Amino acid sequence: MRTIRRRVEFGVEHEAVGSAQDWPADVSPLLRRVYAARGARTHAQAQPRLNQLLPPDDLHGIEDAAALLAEAIAAQRHILVVGDFDCDGATACAVAVRGLGLLGATHVSYAVPNRMVHGYGLSPALVDELAALSPDLLVTVDHGIACHAGIAAAKARGWRVLVTDHHLPGDALPPADVIVDPNLRGDAFASKSLAGVGVLFYVLLALRRRLRDDGCFAGDPPDLSVLLDLVAVGTVADLVPLDVNNRALVAAGLRRLRAGRGSAGLRALVEVSKRSESALTATDIGYALAPRINAAGRLEDMTLGIECLLTDDARRARELAEILDGINAERKGVQAQMVGDAEAALSSLSFDGNTARATVCLHHEDWHPGVVGLVASKIKERVHRPTIAFAPSEPGGDELRGSARSIPGFHIRDALAMVDARHPGLIGRFGGHAMAAGLSLRLVDLPAFQRAFEACAAEMLSPELLQDIVLSDGAIPPEACAIGTALALRDGGPWGQAFPEPLFDDVFDVVQWRPVGETHLKLDLAWPGTSRRIPAIHFSGWDGTPPPSRIRAAYRLQPDDWRGGDAVQLIVVHREPVGRD
């Protein structure tokens, strides 16, 4: 059962952030308390700038990577960037192609696996296809750390291989010439949360320094900050924790986008998604831009997404953005059908009492492998359990591809590693992060995997972790629920993973209500004992049951763009009935 819990008492928060003199005058006490609850005690921690970025030096292998790329550029060798079929991989691919061109590479191309044809990453089958391009150096982005066979196949052809990745490595490393991954054992880089696009951006920073020291630039070195809009999109899309380093990267990228200086493709995607360019937020990236880029890799070919990110022609960018928008609409239809199937399957599972399950594993022979991650995410949100959704790798095939989503406190990739260690050969391949992972296994082994995964999770999960808690930052005083506060909260980010968007709670009287569409609920709320009222909307909050006359609501305060001007509204994310005295 979902319940609201406040992070800390406001008085404790206020004491934790120091005096007002330590902060700029435009940072309100409310915002300072929100920052403190997320561990940011200073303005520099709360809103980091680019000059606070960690230097590249501690990334293991980065100097060797810079040397390898510098040698290839000097010899005009063919550098082939191998991307991935999600938004992080697509943006990393675009950053690599654009960045290497800025730094003097004259023969750069890219390729990306097709999810349905090649599967994940650099596979031997993909290497066979790439042979026609005669590359000298392969650069993997957002993958490679688990691609042992593919990298071995590339090396057998005489190609050099640079792996740039951020996924957790296995017990053995692939036979690449150089590997740059902040999550390598013993790597001293302080931020382990770089997305794939962030790792590649750091490699470019090291390469620029190497080329500058070698006297390769006649004037000032190229400005790599022009790539930060892409870095921001990939970082937010991959749901990596927004630590100080990542927030500095994302904030800089958002500033470029808001100023109208983003790439033609991203600007077109902002337009087709009907977002405000000047007020763009990390939430807009996560819910509008990233899904449209991801849709290409889920249902079609990620080449469409990468081409949109690489073009400098505004008309071509708009054409590609509209195609991506159409594919995304198709994806929503496929997803809705699959989520319906998944919810029907939940009726046979118990999540309470002695027979309560710690995990959910779902499979359907007609599901699309490109959409199972979204299904897993939806079901995880509904039941607050680690969830894996499986689909056939190909129609009628006997291999399954699974996508896993986790809950806070349960490291999903480590759980899969535990299953693999206890049951060798049960899982074909796996990899990922704490909150998301992917795997493959044979259809015949699915029941055995479900039992093994449930057993491991039952050991690793405590009853407290299985409680679905909505963490609140407390209440906003009624007089502060105004446009100035809403704008300060919106612009106080970037908000995201491990630095969540501010969420508040309070008790309200329900003055009026009405359904909107099939699933939403429009509310007119008032603070008890006052005449002050405020509009609210609870998306997916209408199930046919009228709300009680008094509720406790967890909400976000946002500008009401529909009414415009100084209008604000509450976005309700959860509500509970409250009895009247």
Token pair of 334 as six digits: 């496929």
| Higher-confidence position of 300 and 39 | 39
Q: Picking from 151-155, 245-249, 393-397, 568-572, which range would have the lowest pLDDT averaged per residue?
A: 393-397
Per the rule left: phi > 0, alpha: psi between -120 and 50, beta: everything else, 73 is alpha
> Domain 349-460 class?
alpha beta
Q: Are 307 and 320 in contact (CB under 8 A)?
A: yes
Q: Are 239 and 497 in contact (CB under 8 A)?
A: yes
Q: At what angle do helices 446-460 and 412-422 cross, to 10 degrees?
A: 120
- Output the pLDDT for position 433: 82
Q: Check pLDDT > 60 for residue 509.
A: yes
Q: Exposure string (b/e) for 559-580, b if CB count within 10 Å is 16 or more?
A: bbeeeeeeebbbbbbbbbeeee
- Output the pLDDT for position 356: 75
* Other residues' Cβ atoms within 10 Å of the Cβ of residue 339: 18
Concatenated DSSP letters for 123-164?
-HHHHHHHGGG--SEEEEES--TT-HHHHHHHHHTT-EEEEE
Concatenated DSSP letters for 12-30?
HHHHHT--GGGS-TTS-HH
Taking alpha carbons only, the member of 558, 581, 570 closest to residue 511 is 570
Q: Check pLDDT > 90 for residue 412.
A: yes
Token pair of 551 as six digits: 């509720």
The fold of the 3-9+469-577 domain, in CATH, is OB fold (Dihydrolipoamide Acetyltransferase, E2P) (2.40.50)
Q: What is the CA radius of gyration of the chain?
A: 24
Predicted confidence band at 15 (pLDDT cuts at 50, 70, 90)?
very low
Q: Check pLDDT > 60 for residue 581.
A: no
CA dihedral 528, 533, 537, 538 (to 10 degrees): 0
- What average pLDDT does the structure give for the chain? 93
Tokens 């977002």 locate to 275
> Domain 55-325 class?
alpha beta
Taking alpha carbons only, the member of 94, 97, 72 closest to residue 159 is 72
Q: Check pLDDT > 80 for residue 237.
A: yes
Alpha carbon of 90 to those of 142, 296, 433: distances in Å? 9, 10, 18
Pairing of strands 504-516, 550-559: antiparallel
Average pLDDT over residues 40-56: 94
- Output the pLDDT for position 348: 78
- Output the pLDDT for position 46: 95
CA distance 126 to 557: 48
Token pair of 74 as six digits: 């000097």
Residue type, 349: L
- Output the pLDDT for position 179: 98
Tokens 């908000």 locate to 495
Q: Picking from 43-52, 388-397, 406-415, 420-429, which range would have the lowest pLDDT averaged per residue?
A: 388-397
| Strand order across the 108-111 sheet | 108-111, 79-82, 137-141, 160-164, 178-180
Confirm whether pTM is higher than 0.85.
Answer: yes
Q: Picking from 301-305, 324-328, 396-400, which range would have the lowest pLDDT averaged per residue?
A: 396-400
Three-state SS for 500-556 is CCCCEEEEEEEEEEEEECCCEEEEEEECCCCCCEEEEEECCCCCCCCCCCEEEEEEE
- Output the pLDDT for position 115: 73
Phi, psi for 527 (deg, rounded to 5): -75, 130
- Output the pLDDT for position 19: 59
Pairing of strands 137-141, 108-111: unpaired
Average pLDDT over residues 131-153: 96
Pairing of strands 3-6, 108-111: unpaired
Three-state SS for 247-267 is HHHHHHHHHHHHCCCCCHHHH
CA distance 200 to 164: 6
- Output the pLDDT for position 355: 59
Average pLDDT over residues 231-236: 98
Tens digit of each residue's pLDDT (9 = 90 or more) over 432-471: 888 889 999 999 999 999 999 999 999 999 988 999 999 9
Three-state SS for 341-365 is HHHHHHCCCCCCHHHCCCCEEEECC
Domain limits, the chain: 3-9+469-577, 55-325, 349-460
